[in-house]
Amino acid sequence: MSVQEILVINGPNLNLLGQRQPEIYGYDTLASIEEKCSTLAKELGVSVRFGQSNHEGAIIDMIHEARTKSAALIINAGAYTHTSVAIHDALKTFEGYIIELHISNPHAREEFRHTSWISSVADAVMAGAGAYGYELATRLAAEKIKAA
């Protein structure tokens, strides 16, 4: 695929990063994470585009759009990770590289967070690295795009 774009999709409540439960999610904002990833992507010779929605259908629309515009997809679906068969099904239509991302480690939290509808369709899962996980995922996605 000649497309060199990575789409980063963020689900519900991630617009409140830096404010909501900083003891779990840290103090970085989504805007600061996007800025760091954009700088890194440029250094790696790819582009990155961020999207965020608190609405399941809007996230599905982003995935559908990525089918023709993006070579890789990083998704932090938030709570939808544990509940959305619809997002799972949409991700199955994406032919590029998929990384499931979590700021915290869901397996070290409440039991309901131990189940992911995304993991089975993702090429990689990254969890527990805090906001830095976005940079790690960007680096991995760029490497996979360049190797394709």
Catalytic residue ranges: 25, 102
Q: Cβ distance 116 to 106 under 8 Å?
A: yes
CA dihedral 54, 88, 107, 139 (to 10 degrees): -80
Both tokens of 1, joined, read 């695929």
User: 43 in helix, strand or coil?
Assistant: helix
**Secondary structure of 67-127 as H, E, C letters:** HHHCCEEEEECHHHHHCCHHHHHHHCCCCCEEEEEECCCHHHCCHHHHCCCCHHHCCEEEE
Gyration radius from the chain CA atoms: 14
Longest dimension (CA), the chain: 41
